[in-house]
Structure 1
Amino acid sequence: MTMPFYELDWRTMSQQERDLGLNNGVAVPASAEVVAGWDKRSAQMRAGHSSHLDLRYGPRERNRIDFLKAGDGGPTLLFIHGGYWQTRAKETFTVFADGLMAHGVNVALIGYTLAPDATLDEIVAEIHRGLDFLTARLPELGGDANRIVVSGWSAGGHLTSMALSHPGVKAGMAISGIYDLEPIRHSYLNVKLGLDEAMSRRNSPMMQAGNVPKPLSLVVGSAELPLLRKQTADFAGHRAKHGLPVTYEEIPGANHFSIMEELMSPTGRITTLVRQLFERV
């Protein structure tokens, strides 16, 4: 009998079990083809929305934001890409602006320096610096600086939760994120990340008792790796325990990659949840 995901304890796993339990590429064999499709569609979309691409918010090469305008004075979603803080780029994810732009929501996509060229402390700081830039520039770009929701997928889900403390952010939507970095620190992923215990703990939302009392929606796919399902469920419980506004939902049948279809579509479940967040703020 398979152990329910919520009873898993990464500490009791072997190194191999832990590594495989976090490896989404192995878990979804077709993931490379899926991401290649994202790249192709995103390139087409960038070509059609080229007015405000690669806006520089900091000194490093990846310190750039793409802003896709849906309408004057509208709210803005800032999207943070995933890749376990060490792969991928904002350019791959432009296609996921489509669903929300159909509802008049502007979408900004932020790049950041990848590990090992940046520590996780530095990556979190870059996201906050990007939000400083975006809030200052939104009136000029045509958006409402008082209506920013941040979202991200995978490692971007973690960075979403870390960005909630920024004064310009009103709410968050974290997709298939990581909220306790200790399993990461004890896995193959730490070769490039270089987390020590102190850095892991100060960047783990699960380790923060107070956290931020802003609305946060958490989603994960029911067909994702059990350790990732547990991360999201545990963090939802953590926020509820501390009286912080949170919603938790599993997307039926979705794996770590197919879940993003629910943001790409104007009628997708994640698109709907983001719209509900904007209604609250």
Structure 2
Amino acid sequence: MTMPFDAVDWRKLSREALDSGLNNSAAVAGSGDMVAGWEKMSADMRARHGAHLNLQYGPRERNRIDFLKAAPNAPTLLFIHGGYWQMRSKDSFTLFAKGTMAHGINVALIGYTLAPDATLEQIVAEIHSGIDYLAGQLADLGADAERLIASGWSAGGHLTAMAMMNPRIKGGVAISGIYDLEPIRHSYLNVKLGLDEAMSRRNSPMLLTHALKPMALTVGAAELPLLRKQTADFAAHRAKHGLPVTYEEIPGANHFTIMDEMAKPEGRITAMIRELFGRTA
């Protein structure tokens, strides 16, 4: 669990450098086209698995879950989308169920209200409400009600870490996540999030005591240094406190191409998910 050699202390950066150091879309050429491709392939996937879409778990428009069934009485992966808590939706990420479903694992994709229409604390609460709802529905959906783990990308990685405190969740696979919200609070991203120091600290996994559940943390070796540092620091934090953790940088992967490793049945993230289900059986 070594620190990325080029990771700098965000506190020593100018506001301009901090903003740039967190801007994944600007850092990856063609990222907009990649996401557009995700949306098209996800629409095709949703058309093929339309039996249990947009299950309403709460009162707000985005409080919906898509459940994609792979096999009877199978375990379920809950996937939480990214977008810095203020953009994108679950509907753009359905294609990433493919890799996991190929191995007989159900996938549920959860939506949540975006900032500024919800505070980060409210978003975290929605995720917990969605987990409770899904867990209560799994048996009726023909799934194993006792085998539920969470995964998420980017902001969804943060929400995956926060979900570890829900007793229904048995473990997590967090991809390119944010675990210390203080640099976010001091950046352009806080215009919509509106974090103050107290809310930042209450919702930073780096500062919280988590349940003794296994987590696999991964980030792309070609990602922005501040993002790599977030994952490395959180892995070290969990190891220091005796919390089960694995940490892996995926060679050559940037913030967007890392998701290829979840879309493919033979992908490295797909393998991490399968391994975690094996550990939590």
- What TM-score, normalized to structure 1? 0.98
Q: Secondary structure at the match of 2:146?
A: strand
CA contact (8 A) 1:74 1:143 kept: yes
Rounded to whole Å, the distance in 2 between the matches of 1:128 and 1:76 is: 16
What's 1:152 paired with?
Answer: 152
Are residues 1:125 and 2:125 paired? yes
Structure 1, residues 150-182: CA drift from partner, whole Å, max 9, x if none?
A: 000000000000001111100000000000000
Q: Distance in 1 between matches of 2:44 and 2:5?
A: 42
Contact 1:177 1:232 in 2 (8 A): yes
Task: Show the counterpart of 1:93.
Answer: 93
- Structure 1 stretches of at least 4 aligned residues deviating more than 6 Å after TM superposition: none
- 2 CA distance for matches of 1:132 and 1:178? 23
2:162 is matched with which residue? 162
| Contact 1:145–1:168 (8 Å) recurs in 2 | no
The amino acid of 2:170's aligned partner reads K
Q: Residue 30 of structure 1 aligns with which residue? A: 30
Letter in 1 for 2:234: F
1:230 aligns with 2:214: no
1:212 CA displacement: 1.9
1:267 match = 266
One-letter amino acid matched to 1:220: V
| Deviation at residue 11 of structure 1 after TM alignment | 0.4
3-state SS in 2 of match to 1:146: coil
The gaps in structure 1 that reach 5 residues or longer are: none
- Gaps in structure 2 of 5+ consecutive residues: none
Q: Which residue is equivalent to 1:195?
A: 195
Q: What does residue 4 of structure 1 align with? A: 5
Q: Tell me what 1:240 maps to.
A: 239
Q: Partners of 1:197 and 1:206 in 2: how far apart?
A: 14
SS at the partner of 2:75?
A: strand
Letter in 1 for 2:219: V
Q: How far did residue 5 of structure 1 move?
A: 2.9
Q: 1:30 and 1:205 mapped to 2: Cα distance? A: 31
Q: Tell me, yes or no, if the aligned pair for 1:25 and 1:31 is still in contact at 8 Å.
A: yes
> CA separation in 1, counterparts of 2:12 and 2:5?
15
Q: Does structure 1 residue 53 correspond to structure 2 residue 58?
A: no
Deviation at 1:94, TM superposition (A): 0.2
1:80 and 2:114 equivalent? no
Q: Distance in 1 between matches of 2:277 and 2:9?
A: 36
Instruction: Provide the residue aligned with 1:249 in structure 2.
Output: 248
Distance 1:266 1:4 in 2: 32
Matched AA of 1:76: T
8 A Cα contact 1:114 1:123, kept in partner: yes
Aligned equivalents of 2:246, 2:135: Cα separation in 1:
26
The one-letter code matched in structure 1 to 2:224 is L
Instruction: State whether residues 77 and 105 of structure 1, in contact with CA within 8 Å, keep that contact through their aligned partners in structure 2.
Output: yes
Give the CA RMSD over aligned residues: 0.8
Contact 1:152 1:173 in 2 (8 A): yes
**Percent identity of equivalent pairs:** 69
2:276 equivalent in structure 1: 277
Q: SS of the counterpart of 1:78? A: strand
SS at match of 1:20: helix
Q: Retained in 2: the 8 A contact 1:5–1:229?
A: no
Tell me by how many angstroms 1:213 deviates: 1.0
Q: Matches of 1:124 and 1:235 in 2, distance apart?
A: 18
Deviations 1:211-265 (A, max 9, x none): 2210000000000000000000000000000000000000000000000000000
AA aligned opposite 1:15: R
SS in 2 for 1:107: strand
Paired residues, number: 277
Quote the offset at 1:4 in angstroms: 2.4
2:186 pairs with 1:186? yes
Aligned-partner Cα distance in 1 for 2:42–2:66: 12
Q: Which residue of 2 aligns with 1:206?
A: 206
Equivalent residue of 2:114, what SS?
A: coil
Counterpart of 1:70 in 2: which secondary structure? coil
Letter in 2 for 1:73: N
Counterpart CA distance in 2 for 1:229 and 1:150 is 21
Alpha-carbon distance in 2 for matches of 1:179, 1:130: 21
